[in-house]
Structure 1
Amino acid sequence: MTSLNLERVIEAMFAIWHELPELLNERWESFETDLFEFLKTNAANKTNDQVAQEILEKFGKYEQALALLDSKYQELSPKNYEAGSVSAEYEIIPVYFATPRHYDSSKSLDQQFTEVRGDGSLNYGVAEVSIPPDRRMGSINQPPFWRSEDIDRDMTIYSLTKLSQSEFSAQANKAFSGGQQREGMVFVHGYNVTFKTALLRTGQLAYDLAFKGLPLLFSWTSTGHFMGYSADEENVRWSQQLRHFESFLEFCFNELKLDTIHLVAHSMGNRILTQTLTQIINVQTKGKLGQVVFAAPDVDAGTFKHLAASFPSNAARYTLYTSKHDLAVRLSEFLHGSYPRAGKFKDENDVVIVNPVETLDASNRRNDFVGHSYFSDNKSIVSDIFHLFKNNLSPDDRFGLKGRTLQCGKMWIFSKL
């Protein structure tokens, strides 16, 4: 590697992570600890180039690991790209959102809701997300650095409009035709997610799940930076204290008059979801919860089990996707004194199994991005969520899952691809 790009170095590192324990054997633990200590204590004070170089040097202590990293990095580098335009028909998915992010109208369309907190109130709006054809399920096509965004190839923010709460309500209600079931799906993103990426991910999920109701996004104030973990934690706590998500759900039930709301949270966003589920149990509403999905939750395992006992009883199903190979959740575990997280387990003795949640082992659904986005980047997981939404099937009746009874209860394991 000569000129290093931090984003590609990190992506390459994530892609090979599951191979390193076997490759390094007894050296694995010291390597992992050394790397995580650097990311925890020193990386935030360095430039991207310095961080990339430091990661490379740590891999350089182990010849085979460095060769593997270099090989994956080269795969991710631009090769054999042929310029040219694609004539195609794209689709538009409207995404209705609420966010406590600061609003800055002077910025470009997809950056107007920034990475810093607003005044504590929620901003509302609607964005149109464009979906290009020939897109791989689960992906949020974005252009490589050497070309500009192209609506025929990439997912884009086609339009974005900031609305008052009353305008939001009026416009969202118009989206339902007469007699249509008033259904909503709320997505809560995780750590290191910009507002633009959160919008694209919500549009992607709505499109891939063929969701006919209202796609909704709650975007808390993530900094959108790999090194911003601590700041993201503080912003999650701030949003929880102000009960932003609880207020938004109550608004969706009572003002939008939704009959059913499905909830999907990823990574650190599950902290907001799990806490809020224990708070809305007494909310007076005619609506009900549909599918509640905890994807790769960056939540303390003990806390998750404790909160689950207070989850509302009127949800269709609670589903937890966890994995043995989740680097991002492993890093979180390291940062929190090695206390286990609900989104990762080492063996059957520490997997989170608790009523009323159905636990699915997604370890066999690794992909090139740590396994941490397996819920959205892998066709089989998206397909599983699709059947959840469409048919409310139990794990025993869904394709590709095999039940296994452990001492602490039953879990379901995805078959290998």
Structure 2
Amino acid sequence: MAMRASLLIGTLLLAACAVREQADFVEGPAPGTTWLPVLVATTRAPDPNQPIPGWDRSAEVSHGRYTVSIPLDREPGELPRPRGRTEAVPQEDFMLAEAQPLGADEFVSAVRAGLNQQPPNEREAVIFVHGFNTTFVEGVYRTAQMTYDLRLPGVILHYSWPSLGAPLAYAHDRDSALFARDGLVQMLREVRAAGPRRIIIVAHSMGSQLTMEALRQMALSHDPTLGALGGVILISPDIDVDLFRMQAEAIGTLPQPFLIITSQRDRVLTLSARLSGEARRLGNLSDARAVEGLDVTLIDVSAFSVGAGHFTAASSPALLNLFAQIGAVNAAFQDERAGSLPLLPATILTLQNTTQVILQPMTETGQRRLMPWRPRQAAQPETQPAD
């Protein structure tokens, strides 16, 4: 009976993967759409049924350029796919317009060419690392969606590790994330060789643990690539808090700024904590004292979370509009941490080398200015409203 149940679960997982892995291709530019190329490095093996990587693991890193067709008539944060319909429609769905494999040298050249097309002060490389339960094409689409909705500057890249893309495959994905550490380090070295002013990593969910392990690995091996990082943003990081502290201490000086976007309404992380026998994960912290002294900034977006609340920073229309309009994300990419954040209602908690920013939705009755980002020393934590 147990064997038959295992086979049934495995069959259901693979069936779910097959549907979500399917890439829909558009034949040419269509009205009401825009195209956006995404450069990708991956440790996924090729998919024998379509010209994109699948979910099998590969010890070799492969590269490619994937052009995404984005429908313009949609809410910010939405990533429509043709589920439940017979075929994709360019004006309604994210689709692929191109899937071009690249060699390692071609990948570096493509990154360099993209950087040279940017203004000198925007020649940065932004790498998105996806999270748990993500197929290859979903990761590429999400990278394009965030790039377009947030109007991110620089060259946007994606690291795709071999997630099975199935909600019941948590243990498989956790092992795959660890499997993919060397591949991420290799990608970072390749991007550094292209000569960006700095490299920014944006990691989601389980991809945050992969990112921290890669940074730790580079620190322990004294890899100079670590010094090329100009910022890290962890979105809903699915990491044990004590493990994160040990990783951060092993890394030493964390890339700055180092932002952790959290939500106490993140139901996925609540489930993850229960599966792990823990009370909390890094991504749903309510008290910044757990990471005090690590020189990080926590941004609490609980007030914007709906549904599962696991990707609020990239899927909440209200939050995306705020970020896009006032440059809250771009502010994280500046040379100095000093100065003021843009106008947003917020409450600030300051600790030793740690800051917690609790964001609130805008109201018509008024706005409050955030305090400066520079952390200040405090013997005891104190909560204060923004001015």
Separation in 1 of the partners of 2:350 and 2:112? Answer: 46
Separation in 1 of the partners of 2:136 and 2:348? Answer: 39
Matched pairs, number: 331
- Give the percent of matched residue pairs that are identical in Structure 1 and Structure 2: 24
Separation in 1 of the partners of 2:347 and 2:249? Answer: 23
3-state SS, counterpart of residue 313 of structure 2: helix
Whether 2:240 is the aligned partner of 1:276: answer no
CA contact (8 A) 2:115 2:196 kept: no
Whether 2:241 is the aligned partner of 1:301: answer yes
Whether 2:326 is the aligned partner of 1:379: answer no
Whether 2:285 is the aligned partner of 1:340: answer no
CA contact (8 A) 2:254 2:295 kept: no
Whether 2:130 is the aligned partner of 1:168: answer no
3-state SS, counterpart of residue 265 of structure 1: strand
CA contact (8 A) 1:308 1:356 kept: no
With over 3 angstroms needed to count, the CA separation of the structure-2 counterparts of 1:247 and 1:129, relative to structure 1, is same
CA contact (8 A) 2:164 2:173 kept: yes
1:45 paired residue number = 9
Whether 2:69 is the aligned partner of 1:130: answer yes
Give the deviation of 1:102 after TM superposition: 0.7
3-state SS, counterpart of residue 151 of structure 2: coil
- Which of the residues 306, 313, 316 maps onto 1:367? 306
Separation in 2 of the partners of 1:325 and 1:228? Answer: 22
Separation in 2 of the partners of 1:411 and 1:170? Answer: 39
With over 3 angstroms needed to count, the CA separation of the structure-2 counterparts of 1:287 and 1:152, relative to structure 1, is farther
CA-atom RMSD, angstroms?
Answer: 2.9
With over 3 angstroms needed to count, the CA separation of the structure-2 counterparts of 1:192 and 1:342, relative to structure 1, is same
Structure 1 or 2: more strand by fraction: 2
Give the deviation of 1:363 after TM superposition: 1.2
CA contact (8 A) 2:248 2:254 kept: no
- Which of the residues 346, 350, 373 maps onto 1:402? 346
> Deviation per CA, 1:83-115, whole angstroms, max 9, x where unpaired?
xxxx733111110011110113x4224xx3111
What one-letter code is carried by the residue in structure 1 that aligns with 2:38?
A: V
With over 3 angstroms needed to count, the CA separation of the structure-2 counterparts of 1:351 and 1:326, relative to structure 1, is farther
What one-letter code is carried by the residue in structure 2 that aligns with 1:45?
A: I
3-state SS, counterpart of residue 282 of structure 2: coil
With over 3 angstroms needed to count, the CA separation of the structure-2 counterparts of 1:406 and 1:314, relative to structure 1, is closer
Structure 2: 5+ residue runs without aligned partners? 14-29, 363-387
2:96 paired residue number = 157
> Deviation per CA, 1:252-272, whole angstroms, max 9, x where unpaired?
102x12221111000000011
Separation in 2 of the partners of 1:269 and 1:214? Answer: 20
Give the deviation of 1:314 after TM superposition: 7.3
- Which of the residues 334, 351, 356 maps onto 1:411? 356
CA contact (8 A) 2:40 2:160 kept: yes
Normalising by structure 2, report the TM-score: 0.77
1:226 paired residue number = 167
> Deviation per CA, 1:221-268, whole angstroms, max 9, x where unpaired?
00001111111111112223xx111111011102x1222111100000
Separation in 1 of the partners of 2:291 and 2:254? Answer: 22
3-state SS, counterpart of residue 223 of structure 1: coil
3-state SS, counterpart of residue 274 of structure 2: helix
1:96 paired residue number = 39
2:150 paired residue number = 209
2:203 paired residue number = 265
CA contact (8 A) 2:128 2:202 kept: yes
Larger displacement relative to structure 2 (370-379 or 165-174): 165-174
3-state SS, counterpart of residue 157 of structure 2: strand
Separation in 2 of the partners of 1:351 and 1:365? Answer: 23
With over 3 angstroms needed to count, the CA separation of the structure-2 counterparts of 1:176 and 1:395, relative to structure 1, is closer
1:27 paired residue number = none
Matches within 5 A, 1:21-32: none
Give the deviation of 1:410 after TM superposition: 4.0
CA contact (8 A) 1:353 1:359 kept: no
What one-letter code is carried by the residue in structure 2 that aligns with 1:107?
A: N
3-state SS, counterpart of residue 38 of structure 2: strand
3-state SS, counterpart of residue 332 of structure 1: helix
Give the deviation of 1:380 after TM superposition: 4.2
3-state SS, counterpart of residue 290 of structure 1: strand
Separation in 2 of the partners of 1:238 and 1:172? Answer: 25
Give the deviation of 1:180 after TM superposition: 3.3
With over 3 angstroms needed to count, the CA separation of the structure-2 counterparts of 1:348 and 1:213, relative to structure 1, is closer
Separation in 2 of the partners of 1:138 and 1:416? Answer: 16
Normalising by structure 1, report the TM-score: 0.72
3-state SS, counterpart of residue 284 of structure 2: coil
With over 3 angstroms needed to count, the CA separation of the structure-2 counterparts of 1:348 and 1:183, relative to structure 1, is closer
What one-letter code is carried by the residue in structure 2 that aligns with 1:190?
A: G
3-state SS, counterpart of residue 230 of structure 2: strand
